[in-house]
Amino acid sequence: MQVNPLVFDSTPLIYLTKAGLCNIFEDLQVEKCTSPLVKKEVVDEGKIRGIPDAFVLDRLFVKGIFKVCEPADKKFLGELLKTHGLQVADAEVLALANECDGIAVIDDEVARKTAKVYGIKYAGSFYVLARAICEGIVSKAQAKQAIRDMVSLGWRCSVESYVKMMEAIEKI
């Protein structure tokens, strides 16, 4: 069975790491990549500002856990960038996911809606947690605590989404 690569945007990288779950990135049995701009945001700029998760993520990039890939289809990237409210890093992630038949791991609502319009597979931080449960990397209790921690650290989700995630964990 072919496993689609995961193409990470900034938010899932930052908040899963802030919640102490960087081991998920190392242990998930799938190719993981991101764009140069996302790496710049989460590692380079974070290290300049002295943010601890940036140093942890940097080690993962150095170890080759994440590949950094430049979107090749500049025409498609340019088309995506015409979307009102879509950030450049989000567009790069969507373009990469489209090119490698991957799953864009994005939490941003504009990026998700854009992915849907273009038929690009996408998921969010919760998908990574659910997959980690299924692969035996984290327990259901650890995943629930991670969601609580992420929210308390500033990760945004609606109350309805929060409840659905907690219920979904129980069904895994």
Give the domain ranges of the chain.
6-171
- Residue 127: phi and psi, rounded to 5, are -55, -45
Tokens 């864009």, located at residue? 104
Could you read off the pLDDT tens digit of each residue along the chain, which spans 172 residues? 568 999 999 999 999 999 999 999 999 999 999 999 999 999 999 999 999 999 999 999 999 999 999 999 999 999 999 999 999 999 999 999 999 999 999 999 999 999 999 999 999 999 999 999 999 999 999 999 999 999 999 999 889 999 999 999 999 9
User: Taking the CA atoms of the chain, what radius of gyration do you get in angstroms?
Assistant: 15
Q: Order across the sheet with 103-105: list the strands.
A: 67-68, 32-34, 6-8, 103-105, 122-123
Under 8 Å between Cβ of 99 and 65: no
CATH architecture of 6-171: 3-Layer(aba) Sandwich (3.40)
What pairing do the DSSP bridges indicate for beta strands 122-123 and 6-8?
A: unpaired
Is the pTM above the cut of 0.85?
A: yes
